[in-house]
Structure 1
Amino acid sequence: MKQVLLTALAINISATAFSQQTNQFKLIDNYVQEAIKTNQIPGLAIGVIKDDKVIFEQYYGTENLEDAKKVSPSSMFRIYSTSKLMTDVGVFQLIEQGKLSLEDNVSKYVDNLPKDWQHVKVKNLLTHSSGMPDFVAFSDILPEYSGPKTIERLSKERMDFKTGNEFRYNQTNYMLLSMIIERITGQSFEDFILNNQFSDVKNQVVYSSNALEKIPNRIIKYNYNSETKKYVKSTDVEGKKAYPGNGIAVTLPAFLKWSSHLSTTDFLHQKTKDMMWQPFEYGNKKDVFAYGWEINKANDIPSYGFSGGNVSAYRFFPQNNMAIIMLSNGYNFFPAQYHMVNHIAAIMDKNLTDSYSLAEESIIAEFAKKNNIQNAEKNYFTIKSKNPKLDFENTLNNLGYILMGNSRMDEAIKVFKLNVVEHPQSGSAFDSLGEGYFSAKNYDLSLENYKKSLELDPQNTNAKNMIEKINGIQVQRN
């Protein structure tokens, strides 16, 4: 009798767990479809892996808008800067093997570095604290330039800041990491990564930073043109030096396998991963970033990941042994990758609920709807009343500029006005409202708000310059 009762109890627990999981899947699917509609995402793949098992894997929409080919497990999404995570793992594999150290100077492995770069260390590359000039900022550095030729050109430029002092996102850092990997291993950078992280799915991963290159099953990102109200395919062309920073296209199944390997000791021992996810100590004592990984916390539960091109994101939650992957090919209003990952995490585990992210997502979704400003404002104040401690100054500011960029000027100004009402002591909020009125050619109100901004923030040089510019315009008009 006891055995029968235990068996019945086990069956009941299993059925309850299955029912709960099924409900989670429905909630995720319903949410994802709503997010696709809100952001007009052409194609999307979502994966959730927990305890080394894929528990959610779904495909939505189309690979492209030309022939409406459906997104499928064979679709290879460009993940842009999320590619950096694979570079990070590759670096720490070499560290674990004793072939490299975070404290090594880059000059130990890369020849002919400028004098100011001589004491930049490997750890500074991973944490974007090198201070070196970023090659993407210089139009005369061509896609076909090699690493050494790029270094030669950059040697003419000053350092951006003192090494180690701050975080400043920089593709030169990752170009140098790939050169270090090639020097140590004797392999091409891409072969090293593919052989050591994707050996079981090589046919589902490709390195290319050229959107014009014809690669079967590779999905190219769409950019939304706010003037024509249409999507256009990206035509970005970069060379091999960009591979470590943005070069991977990968299927969702291959990415899920990569994540499963990462969660075990297939790639790295736990001690090494702990080192990789340790916060770097920046000189300014303000910036927060690990060794190549963003650090996120929800209710003091840490997670680590990165995003790329505003169309992909990866997040690993060590305490939950769970990872979420979001792969897409475009959006028309606001980049959705972080909100989607955070929302799905909250569905999977209420303890991972990021109240700010969920509230911000709702605010943005309502303002994204055209001719909905009154309902959007009502929704905003409802959220504020429920979450009085949350501050949405940056959210409203970003929304205003996004609306401006989408040629919705009247709505943009209303959002900027809402922000100054909500933040009457913010010089930045008045500066943005001044810019909104300036773009609408309402120079009197623009001048009034720039003066208010300067009054609140006397160091605002932009406001000073704009006041002079508007005064000049008004003199010419009179």
Structure 2
Amino acid sequence: MKQIFLIILALNISTLTFSQQTNQFKLIDNYVKEAIKANQIPGLAVGVIKDGKIIFEQYYGVENLEDLKKVSPSSMFRIYSTSKLMTNVGIFQLIEQGKLSLEDNISKYVDNLPKDWQNVKLKNLLTHSSGIPNFIAFSDILPEYSSFKTIERLSKEKMDFATGNQYRYNQTNYMLLAMIIEKITGHYFENFILKNQFPDVKNQVVFSSNALEKIPNRIIKYNYNSETKEYQKSTDIEGKKAYPGNGLAITLPAFLKWSSHLINNDFMNQKTKDIMWQSFDYGNKKDVFGYGWEISKANNIPSYGFSGGNVSAYRIFPQNNMAIVLMSNGYNFFPAQYQIVNHIAAIIDRNLTDAYSLAEESVIFEFSKKDNPNAEKNYYNIKEKNPKWNFEDTLNNTGYILLRNSRINEALKVFVLNAKENPQSANAFDSLGEGYLSIKNYPLAIKSYKKSLELNPENTNASNMINKIQDLMKKK
């Protein structure tokens, strides 16, 4: 009798678990479809691993807008800067093998470095605290330049800041990490990564930072042109030196396998992962970032990840035994990769609910709807329930997005709202000035810029814009 009871109990638990997973699947699926609709995302793939199992793997939309080929498990998305995670793992694999140390000077592995770079350490490259100039900031550094020629050109520039003092996102750091990997292993960077992190997938991962290169099943990112109101395929060409920073294209099944290996300590042991996910001690005592990984917290529960090109994101939640992969090929309103990941995490585990993040998503979502009379009402309803929450940056960014999409009157309403909500913000009034300028209301534009200057006398943009508008009024 006891045995029968246990069997029935097990069946009931199994049925309940299946029912919960089915409900979660529907909730995630419905939410993702809404996010795709709101941002007019052409194609997207998303996967979730929980407790060692893939509990969600779905494909939406099309690979391209030319022949409307549907996104599928064979679709290889360009993940741009999310590629850096694979570079990070490669570095820490070598650290675990005793071939590298975070405290090593990079001059130990790379020859002919500028004098100011000599004492930059491996840890400074991973944490974007090197202060080395970023090669993408210089238009005369061509895609075909080798890493060594790029260094030669950058040697003419001053350091951006004192090494270790702050975080500043930098592609040169990852070019140097790839050079170090090649020096130590004797293998091309991309071959080392494929061999040591993707041994069990074929034709599902490729390195290329050339959008024009013809690669079977690789999806190219679309950029939305707000003037023509059409998507245009990216034509970016950045060369081989960009591989470690943005060069990977990968299928969702391959990315999920990579994630499983990371979770199961197949790439490195837990102790090494813990070091990789530690927060770096920046000199300014303000910035928060791990050794190549963003650190996020929801209800004090940490997670680690990165995003790329505003179209891809990866997040792992060690305490929750969960990871989320998201890859898309474009958006027309707001880069929503973080919001989608956060929302999915909250659906799966309520403990990961970030109420502010969900509210912020709601604010953006309502303003994204064309001529939506409920957008402001929704904002005030949220603020009424949470008066301490501040959405200044959210409103400001939303206003500019609307402005870029030629929705000028809607943008102005958001800028007006932001200035009303943040009467001591010089930035809010500066943006309001730009909003009035866009509709050629010169008196109110000048008034807004003067208010911004009053709040921040060092705002040179405001003073320059006042002079510019006064000149326009004279010519009128």
Normalised to the residue count of structure 1, the TM-score between the two structures is 0.98
- Which residue number in structure 1 is paired with residue 270 of structure 2? 270
- Which residue number in structure 1 is paired with residue 172 of structure 2? 172
- Which residue number in structure 1 is paired with residue 78 of structure 2? 78
Please state how far the C-alpha of 1:466 moved relative to its aligned partner.
1.8
Quick one: distance in 1 between partners of 2:265 and 2:174? Answer: 24
Task: Map residues 301-312 of structure 1 onto 2, 5 A cutoff.
Answer: 301-312=301-312
Quick one: distance in 1 between partners of 2:316 and 2:207? Answer: 23
- Which residue number in structure 1 is paired with residue 460 of structure 2? 461
Kindly indicate whether residue 40 of structure 2 is the aligned counterpart of residue 31 of structure 1.
no
Quick one: distance in 2 between partners of 1:357 and 1:273? Answer: 27
Kindly indicate whether residue 122 of structure 2 is the aligned counterpart of residue 119 of structure 1.
no
Please state how far the C-alpha of 1:101 moved relative to its aligned partner.
0.6
Quick one: distance in 1 between partners of 2:170 and 2:472? Answer: 38
Task: Map residues 330-345 of structure 1 onto 2, 5 A cutoff.
Answer: 330-345=330-345
- Which residue number in structure 2 is paired with residue 432 of structure 1? 431
- Is the contact made by 1:194 and 1:202 (CA closer than 8 Å) also made in structure 2? no
For the aligned residues, what is the CA RMSD? 0.9
Please state how far the C-alpha of 1:435 moved relative to its aligned partner.
1.4
Q: Partner of 1:202: helix, strand, or coil? A: coil
Please state how far the C-alpha of 1:382 moved relative to its aligned partner.
1.2
Please state how far the C-alpha of 1:379 moved relative to its aligned partner.
1.0
Quick one: distance in 2 between partners of 1:202 and 1:108? Answer: 35
- Which residue number in structure 2 is paired with residue 396 of structure 1? 395
Please state how far the C-alpha of 1:440 moved relative to its aligned partner.
2.5
Q: Partner of 2:66: helix, strand, or coil? A: coil
Question: 1:234-285 CA deviation, whole Å, 9 max, x = no partner?
Answer: 0001100000000000000000000000001100110000000000011111
Q: Partner of 2:93: helix, strand, or coil? A: helix
Quick one: distance in 1 between partners of 2:265 and 2:221? Answer: 33
Q: Partner of 1:164: helix, strand, or coil? A: coil
Quick one: distance in 1 between partners of 2:226 and 2:196? Answer: 42
Task: Map residues 178-189 of structure 1 onto 2, 5 A cutoff.
Answer: 178-189=178-189
Gaps of 5+ in 1: none
Quick one: distance in 2 between partners of 1:438 and 1:119? Answer: 48
- Which residue number in structure 2 is paired with residue 328 of structure 1? 328
Quick one: distance in 2 between partners of 1:205 and 1:131? Answer: 32
- Which residue number in structure 2 is paired with residue 382 of structure 1? 381
- Which residue number in structure 2 is paired with residue 352 of structure 1? 352
Gaps of 5+ in 2: none
Kindly indicate whether residue 229 of structure 2 is the aligned counterpart of residue 229 of structure 1.
yes
Normalised to the residue count of structure 2, the TM-score between the two structures is 0.99
Quick one: distance in 2 between partners of 1:385 and 1:37? Answer: 28
Question: 1:302-354 CA deviation, whole Å, 9 max, x = no partner?
Answer: 00000000000000000011000001000010001000000000000000001
Quick one: distance in 2 between partners of 1:385 and 1:14? Answer: 42
Please state how far the C-alpha of 1:385 moved relative to its aligned partner.
1.6
Quick one: distance in 1 between partners of 2:105 and 2:17? Answer: 52
Q: Partner of 1:235: helix, strand, or coil? A: coil
Please state how far the C-alpha of 1:436 moved relative to its aligned partner.
1.4
Please state how far the C-alpha of 1:472 moved relative to its aligned partner.
3.1
Please state how far the C-alpha of 1:177 moved relative to its aligned partner.
0.2
- Which residue number in structure 2 is paired with residue 162 of structure 1? 162
- Which residue number in structure 2 is paired with residue 470 of structure 1? 469
Quick one: distance in 2 between partners of 1:163 and 1:133? Answer: 11
- Which residue number in structure 2 is paired with residue 211 of structure 1? 211
- What residue identity is the alignment partner of 1:410? N
- What residue identity is the alignment partner of 1:199? P
- What residue identity is the alignment partner of 2:424? Q
Quick one: distance in 1 between partners of 2:192 and 2:47? Answer: 26
Q: Partner of 1:48: helix, strand, or coil? A: strand
Please state how far the C-alpha of 1:387 moved relative to its aligned partner.
2.2
Please state how far the C-alpha of 1:86 moved relative to its aligned partner.
0.1
Please state how far the C-alpha of 1:473 moved relative to its aligned partner.
2.9
Please state how far the C-alpha of 1:11 moved relative to its aligned partner.
1.1
- Which residue number in structure 2 is paired with residue 443 of structure 1? 442
Quick one: distance in 1 between partners of 2:231 and 2:472? Answer: 36
- Which residue number in structure 1 is paired with residue 251 of structure 2? 251
Quick one: distance in 2 between partners of 1:276 and 1:129? Answer: 15
Quick one: distance in 2 between partners of 1:246 and 1:297? Answer: 25
Quick one: distance in 2 between partners of 1:468 and 1:100? Answer: 56
Quick one: distance in 2 between partners of 1:173 and 1:85? Answer: 13
- Structure 1 segments, 4+ long, off by >4 Å, are none
Quick one: distance in 1 between partners of 2:67 and 2:336? Answer: 25
- What residue identity is the alignment partner of 1:209? S
Q: Partner of 2:119: helix, strand, or coil? A: coil
- What residue identity is the alignment partner of 2:28? I
Question: 1:8-53 CA deviation, whole Å, 9 max, x = no partner?
Answer: 1111111111111110000000001111111100000010001221
Q: Partner of 1:203: helix, strand, or coil? A: coil
Please state how far the C-alpha of 1:448 moved relative to its aligned partner.
0.4
Q: Partner of 2:374: helix, strand, or coil? A: helix
- What residue identity is the alignment partner of 1:72? S
Quick one: distance in 1 between partners of 2:197 and 2:51? Answer: 19
Quick one: distance in 1 between partners of 2:307 and 2:112? Answer: 32
